[in-house]
Chain A
Amino acid sequence: MSDFLRSYLTVAIFGGVAVALVGVLLGLGSFLRPSRPTATKTMAYESGVDPVGDMWSQSNIRYYVFALMFVLFDVEAVFIFPWAMRLETYGYFGLVEMAIFIFILVLGLAYAWRKGMLKWV
């Protein structure tokens, strides 16, 4: 077995012990404790507040619009990181290039803002 796989053996053993420990403790608990369920006890725990709706509630479609905008602008940042790493070697040329790139991104953000996409209605 290579060193590479052997180092994963540690991970596997650790995982196995973790699963076994949790299983033993939970199993022991359910074996020892009395079981007398009531409606209040089986209710889902939502930080002390009474739960609203069931588990499979649909999330509001508004979340999607924000999620979409986040994904777009988040991913565009991937071009900025390598540029920032070597900012000095690129000089003014790189600065102007990035200014144009960010200008176009800001144009998109301004568009979303003017069209009311950033408002939570």
Chain B
Amino acid sequence: MDFSAALPVADVVAFNRPAIDWHAASPELILLGFGALLTLVDVIFLDRAKQYTAALAGIGLLVTMVPILTLANDMSETGPRVMFDGAYVIDEFSLIMKAIFILSGYVVILLSTNYIAEGDYWESEYYGLMLSAILGMVVMASSRDLISIFVAFELLSIPSYMLATWKKRSLESNEAGLKYYLMGVFASAIMLYGMSLLFGASGETILTKVNASLSSDPLTGESLSSSTPVLTLAVIFVIVGFAFKVSAAPFHNWAPDTYSGAPIPVTAFLAVASKIAGFVALVQLVFVGFYARADVFQPLMWILAAASMIIGNLIALRQTDIVRLMAYSGVAQAGFILAPLAVAGDVGDQALASIVSYLAIYAAMNLGAFAVILAAARKTGSTSIESMNGLFSYAPGLAVAMTIFMFALAGIPPLGGWFAKFQIFFAVVEQGGTWAIILGVLLAVNSVIALYYYASVARRIWADQAPDGDLTPIRIPPSLGAALVLTVVATLVFGFLPGAVSQFTDVGLIAGG
């Protein structure tokens, strides 16, 4: 029988093999390779593999840095590398973000090594899942297409759900994971529905083409002076989906519970790397996909930024647990990072540069603060703020480090945070409109509120008595020490030499934007 008449095979277009830039794709391929290698080692050697998995994951991340550095070196000659019709772009922004993801992933692995080995956790799978989550983030930094953004988002979320429940036989950890999971899938369903509307309204999935069709009517070709209801809904849904991921108020409810129930290194990972990945997606969507529709995303970002700053800071004032305090301070900082997006339509370059430098500094100081919390909890076994009392009397090094991180987070001048906050502030005020000035005032007021609770942690460390007068020093394992040194150095360098940061983070508009 002849099926060729029945099947439309004859008129199918010939397959054009997509050109793959192997150099540009190598960071992702190396990470994938190491992820598969970790699983393979686990499958073959079972429990005997445990002692090598952490080292293998760390090596994998360091090897991945090599092609990122060579790509950055070539960038001045080749310019942005574009693959798959613009769905996957390697430009300066994506390289900086990939480097931040990989380095913070490396610090998290340093934090995890002793914590996971000494506690009641599964070990081998932990690092494999960590690598796949980092792979998702690295892919996210280059995705300029709705479907790739979605896949990258899920690749980083699904392992995170599992990591949040990682503690064996702990109902708290299970609860943390289930809450995170339910909020996460709700967010991704909302985001996906927005993406389907966006696809329907524009007929495109690649962000640059979406942007082009948002500015003009696809049928008549006339430029749209205002948004259509479908477009508005689509943009709002997509942004709200990511607002969950970055724990912006009023979508922040999962964060404190998940952070305090999950193992501390995982909390650091969620609070830093996973959150930054959400911002990377938002930045790409706003600057590449929705840039023509500033009239839609700017008011939304304004509301999210203002609500996050106010709610996060006010609730943080009442916290008695240091991890929950960091969770709410993370909500407030999400508000800070969203603030430039509320003026991005007018002062794009400045807004982007300020966000990128804030993200770099945010990673260093938050990871550092979690490293100190983890080190202190090795002795006290608790994460209440009281357990920090008198830290200076028995662990002066940790006390100094924690003070540096707290003041950096508060934005006290010689430390990293002030440069980040000032850049955000100037980007917002630069725009000059009434709403921008109000947002600027909110930024300033909230910096002062935040100073109060950060400083009160520092006061406990230096002024209060250690609980029960117990002055036995804390034994800090080498990997944790390395993580502390790395984060302290990064926070200090970003503070004293802000030029060093802005040199890297002044990326101009994203390629294709």
Q: Which A residues are closer than 8 A to B by beta carbons?
A: 86, 89-91, 93-94, 103-104, 107-108, 110-111, 114
Q: Find out whether the CB atom of B14 lies under 8 angstroms from the CB atom of A111.
A: no
Q: Find out whether the CB atom of A107 lies under 8 angstroms from the CB atom of B39.
A: yes
How far in angstroms is the closest Cβ of chain B from A9? 30
Contacts of B39 on A, CB cut-off 8 Å?
107-108, 111
Contacts of A103 on B, CB cut-off 8 Å?
36
- Kindly identify which residue among B12, B15, B43 contacts A111, using a CB–CB cutoff of 8 Å: B43
Q: Find out whether the CB atom of A86 lies under 8 angstroms from the CB atom of B12.
A: yes
Q: Find out whether the CB atom of B15 lies under 8 angstroms from the CB atom of A107.
A: no
Q: Find out whether the CB atom of A86 lies under 8 angstroms from the CB atom of B15.
A: yes
Contacts A89-B15, A90-B15, A93-B17; A104 near B46 (Cβ below 8 A):
no
Q: Find out whether the CB atom of A110 lies under 8 angstroms from the CB atom of B43.
A: yes
Cα(A86)–Cα(B15), bound, Å: 9
Q: Find out whether the CB atom of A114 lies under 8 angstroms from the CB atom of B46.
A: yes
Cα(A93)–Cα(B40), bound, Å: 25
Cα(A94)–Cα(B12), bound, Å: 17
Q: Find out whether the CB atom of A114 lies under 8 angstroms from the CB atom of B43.
A: yes
Q: Which B391-417 residues have C-beta < 8 A from chain A?
A: none
Contacts of B15 on A, CB cut-off 8 Å?
86, 89-91, 94
Q: Which B residues are closer than 8 A to A by beta carbons?
A: 12, 14-15, 17, 36, 39-40, 42-43, 46
22 interchain pairs, CB-CB under 8 A: A86-B12, A86-B15, A89-B12, A89-B14, A89-B15, A90-B15, A91-B15, A91-B17, A93-B17, A94-B15, A103-B36, A107-B36, A107-B39, A107-B40, A107-B43, A110-B43, A111-B39, A111-B42, A111-B43, A114-B42, A114-B43, A114-B46
Cβ-closest chain B residue relative to A114: B43
How far in angstroms is the closest Cβ of chain A from B124? 10
Contacts of A114 on B, CB cut-off 8 Å?
42-43, 46
Chain B's interface: helix, strand, loop or mixed, by majority? helix
Contacts of B36 on A, CB cut-off 8 Å?
103-104, 107
The 3 closest A-B pairs by CB, nearest first: A89-B15, A114-B43, A110-B43
Contacts of A108 on B, CB cut-off 8 Å?
39
Contacts of B12 on A, CB cut-off 8 Å?
86, 89
Cα(A94)–Cα(B40), bound, Å: 24
Cα(A110)–Cα(B46), bound, Å: 12
Cα(A16)–Cα(B42), bound, Å: 60
Contacts of A110 on B, CB cut-off 8 Å?
43
Residue in B14, B39, B40, B43 with the greatest tally of chain A CB atoms within 10 Å: B43
Cα(A90)–Cα(B17), bound, Å: 8
How far in angstroms is the closest Cβ of chain B from A88? 9
Cβ-closest chain B residue relative to A93: B17
Cβ-closest chain A residue relative to B32: A104
Cα(A110)–Cα(B39), bound, Å: 9
Cα(A111)–Cα(B17), bound, Å: 33
Cα(A111)–Cα(B39), bound, Å: 7
How far in angstroms is the closest Cβ of chain B from A117? 12
Cα(A110)–Cα(B36), bound, Å: 12
Contacts of A111 on B, CB cut-off 8 Å?
39, 42-43
How far in angstroms is the closest Cβ of chain B from A43? 40
Contacts of A86 on B, CB cut-off 8 Å?
12, 15
Cα(A114)–Cα(B36), bound, Å: 15
Contacts of B43 on A, CB cut-off 8 Å?
107, 110-111, 114
How far in angstroms is the closest Cβ of chain B from A1? 29
Cα(A91)–Cα(B46), bound, Å: 38
Cα(A91)–Cα(B16), bound, Å: 11
Contacts of B46 on A, CB cut-off 8 Å?
114
Cα(A108)–Cα(B40), bound, Å: 9
Cα(A52)–Cα(B46), bound, Å: 40
How far in angstroms is the closest Cβ of chain A from B503? 39
Cβ-closest chain A residue relative to B18: A93
Cα(A61)–Cα(B12), bound, Å: 47
Cβ-closest chain A residue relative to B7: A85
How far in angstroms is the closest Cβ of chain A from B84? 14
Cβ-closest chain A residue relative to B40: A107
Residue in B12, B39, B40 with the greatest tally of chain A CB atoms within 10 Å: B39
Cα(A37)–Cα(B12), bound, Å: 67
Cβ-closest chain B residue relative to A94: B15
How far in angstroms is the closest Cβ of chain B from A44? 36
Cα(A89)–Cα(B12), bound, Å: 10
